[in-house]
Amino acid sequence: MSGITKALIVASPHIEKILAGEKTWEMRSHHVHSRGPIGLIAKGTGTVVGVAEIADSLGPLSEGDLFANALRHRIDGDRLISQLSDGPFPEVPKRWSHAWVLEKVLKLIKPVHYRHPNGAQQFVILDEPAIEAIAKQVAAIRKSAL
């Protein structure tokens, strides 16, 4: 998992569940077309706290699919139900209609600071110092796992 140049912003408590291996689907309102390695940013911290690979993008998912896969996305039932109603604008995608499938998740030893560009809300293109620091940590984690 080298060559990580972008990172996904993930809110709490979802980021902690992903890093703990409890959550393998990050729920979003649309597909993601890119695949491969990414950094994982804990929203509001200014730091990359882990890495993962986007393996797939599923959806739009039915209500049945969402409830059947609760162990993958870890959204509790009441919260999930509140996001499934069509509301006054049925043409607007439901908040969690697509699953971004994450694999090979690694928690970084030490959070890596990055420069947050104006307007970035979902993906961030990482600056060179952050890219290098992440690559060093991933290499160290892999080496220690041998």
| Residues 98-142: tens digit of each pLDDT | 999 999 999 999 999 999 988 878 999 999 999 999 999 999 999
The span from the CA of 6 to the CA of 131, in Å, is 8
From 40, 52, 37, 32, select the one nearest 15 (Cα to Cα): 40
The pLDDT score that the predictor gives to residue 89 is 47
**Per-residue pLDDT at 92 exceeds 50:** no
3-class SS at 118? coil
From 122, 120, 124, 121, select the one nearest 134 (Cα to Cα): 124
Cβ contact 39:8 at 8 Å: yes
Domains and CATH numbers, the chain: 6-145 (2.30.130.30)
Residue type, 39: G
Tell me if the pTM is above 0.85.
yes
Task: Choose the weakest-confidence range: 13-22, 89-98, 110-119.
Answer: 89-98
**Per-residue pLDDT at 84 exceeds 80:** no
